[in-house]
Amino acid sequence: MRLLKKNVLITGAGGQLGTRFAQAFATEGANLWLTDQSQERLTAAASKLPATQLLGSLPMDVTNPASVERVFAQVRAYGALDVLVNNAGIGVFTPFWERDYAEFMQVMSVNAGGTFLCTREALRIMKDQGQGAIVNIGSLYGVVSSDPRIYTDCERMNSEVYSASKAAVIQLTKYFAVHAADLGVRVNCVSPGGVFNHQGEDFVSNYSQRTPFKRMAKDGDICGAVIFLASDEAGYISGQNIVVDGGFTAW
């Protein structure tokens, strides 16, 4: 119960990782605000949590400043915000030479812009408290390039803009860790490796062979690092990016 009665807000809470993070935080005793652009996904995620630990399920578009400000105003009116998990993110899987500028900017807007907007609003609450923790969700592809040998005859491609946006998330983490230190707020990042989600057989096989652990991550594999960085156990850690990738980036 490392986060007993802590108030936690998770963006993108209706997605695969967001839903799993919410369950992990609930197990640690946290009270949860869930946000997602999709009300349907929010309802599904909320149904997996104890009702007594659900503070609210709030639709939010992380690319829309008014939407973000509205949600955080509701959170502020309720009380403390101890932890923000910036999990909302999107990717595209078409070759870069087919990329149009609108698609490029949409990925940047969600992944980097959304992280900025939510961090800014969370810090406005946390500075008045004198404490808080923010955990951003990056990607191993914000650290290294995707390996084209993985993407052989499958349709799934890693995009240049996804990598660029996640590199931006990692750098935003470092920036805000420095500039929020005097507010008593820690800011860190967790960068997952590839998480299994019923991708094509060819992709899964290639990715697994490229990884020392010989498998893709399970969604539960990512939770430990996120919970740790949100907890008081990481009280002297800020500005760090923990890569949870089964050793992918080690060779």
Tell me whether residue 73 is in a domain.
Answer: yes
Pair 25, 3: CB distance under 8 Å:
yes
Tell me whether residue 106 is in a domain.
Answer: yes
Marked catalytic residue, from 162, 175, 207, 236: 162
Helices (H), 112-234: 114-129, 160-179, 201-210, 219-230
Q: What is the pTM of this model?
A: 0.96
CATH assignment of the domain containing 18: 3.40.50.720
To the query of whether residue 162 is one of the catalytic residues in this protein, the response is yes
pLDDT tens-place string over residues 186-243: 999 999 999 998 888 888 999 999 999 999 999 999 999 999 999 999 999 999 999 9
Residue 102: which domain range?
7-250
Cα dihedral 140, 143, 148, 154, rounded to 10, equals: 30
How many independent structural domains does the chain possess?
Answer: 1
Percentage of the chain with pLDDT > 90?
87
Tell me whether residue 1 is in a domain.
Answer: no
Tell me whether residue 25 is in a domain.
Answer: yes
Pair 53, 32: CB distance under 8 Å:
yes
pLDDT of 154 strictly over 70 = no
Tell me whether residue 200 is in a domain.
Answer: yes
Percentage of the chain with pLDDT > 70?
98
pLDDT of 147 strictly over 90 = no
